[in-house]
Structure formats: structure tokens, C-alpha cells
Amino acid sequence: MEPLYTLALTTGMRLGELLGLRWQAVDGADLQVRVTLTRTAAGWSLTEPKTRMSRRRIALSATAVAALRRQKARQAEARLLAGEAWTDHGLVFTDAFGEPLPGSRITERRLRPVLRQASLPLIRFHDLRHTAATLMLTASVHPKVVSEMLGHSSVAITLDRYSHVIPTMQEEAALQMDRLLSDPVRVQARVRRTPRTGKNPNPRSDRGRRKSVGTAYRIPSKTSHASQPRTRSTSKRRMRHMRQDR
């Protein structure tokens, strides 16, 4: 059962997700959570997880990949011993005949004897999930990544449930800021100059301002006859008519 505990501790997967894990969902260093094993009075079945975020991809560590390889080798030996009595459901964790493991007996009959032998506190199997989350947060893994690995519907659930880890993370952040600010900081200012051309004058210069304004509004540089008021030309015409009448 050591591979089962290793995978639970390195991924934070739920017990039902581990017991319903199939080999086809394992691809090298990746693992897809698509089903969970549930038991009823009629027997067991593989059902989809309850929430959308529970259907997720989990990146496996080298320790988890090695544990799955050991499990595959042990399962091949058990299959040879069982012979025709073996039932192939494609599950990763099975009993001696290929059937899914009973989740209710894993903690009492298999996990706790191991904990007693190692002189460790007697915890539930689900506590391995909490341990995985605490270890990741303590190692400064981003809470969003931890939330995705655990399959929480929101990162707020992760932060609220493991808020006891946050003070330690804040202290580490303060130490990191001290390290950053204690080192000399070099600031290099670079000024990028744009070459002046006749087509694109510098708008900040007087010359450029005159050209740009004159071009934009089409203001003529010299006053033309067309721009003079029409009242003067009209008065001259009247004077000419008056002279002719005389």
C-alpha cells in the first residue's frame, strides 16, 4: 500500500479519486482525474466528480512516478498469481484479484498499523490530503496552484481552510523583502533620441510647432487677396458705378 500513500501525500488526491484511478489516466508525469469510486448497497461504481474543478490534471513528482512504477510491477505479479481469477477493471490500486480496494478498511487495517510502527500520530487517510496542502503552501507554492491540484472550486476555499499556514508565509515574504532591499540597487536610465527629419519635425520645437499647426489647419503663411474682407471689394464697385452714372 506504500504507493497509495505516496500518491496521496504528493498529489493531495481524495481517497475515492485514488481508488477510482485507472492506468489509462496516467501519462508519464501527468495524471488526469476524471472519475471517482463510490460504493453503495448495490456495490461499487465509477462516477464523475461532483464539481468541474474536481476534474483536473495533476503534474506528478518524480517520487510519485516512481511509486506508480512500483505499483505496476506489483500488480503484474499479483495478476500472474491470481491467474483466471483476476478481474481486469484497469484500476491502479486493487486487491489480489483485481477488484477495487474497500475504502472503509484502508485507514483502520492498513494505514494505522504503519503509523504505529513508525511511532507517528494516528491520523485519517484524508489527513494525508491536508498534509500535502500544508507542505506545498509552506514551500511557497502559489495558493492558486495548490487549489488546482486539490480540486477546490475556488482558491478562497484553500486560503480559508489552510489559513494557519498564511502567517508563516508572510514572515517568509518579509525576509525576502529584506534580502532584496539590502542589496545595492542599480538603476540605469536610457534616453532614446529620435532623429529629426524634414518630414517629421519635432513637435516640441518652435519650428516643428509652426509647421505642424500650419499643416494641420492649413493656415497660409502670407495673406492673400482671397483672404481679404469682401466689404472693400464691394465698396469699390459701388464707387465705380456712381462715377459712371455721373
CB atoms within 10 A of CB 125: 19
Task: Tell me the fold of 2-178.
Answer: hpI Integrase; Chain A (1.10.443)
Q: What counts of helices (H) and strands (E) characterise the chain?
A: 11, 5
Do the beta carbons of residue 136 and residue 146 sit within 8 Å? yes
- Distances in Å between the Cα of 6 and the Cα atoms of 10, 12, 93, 160 are 6, 10, 12, 26
The pLDDT profile of the chain, 246 residues, written as one tens digit per residue, is 889 999 999 999 999 999 999 999 999 899 999 999 998 888 889 999 888 999 999 999 999 999 999 999 999 999 999 999 999 999 999 999 999 988 777 876 788 888 888 898 888 899 999 999 999 998 889 999 999 999 999 999 998 898 887 777 777 778 888 888 886 655 455 555 555 655 555 555 555 444 444 444 454 555 444 445 555 555 556 566 555 555
E strand segments, the chain: 26-27, 30-33, 36-40, 43-47, 56-59
- pLDDT confidence of residue 215: 44
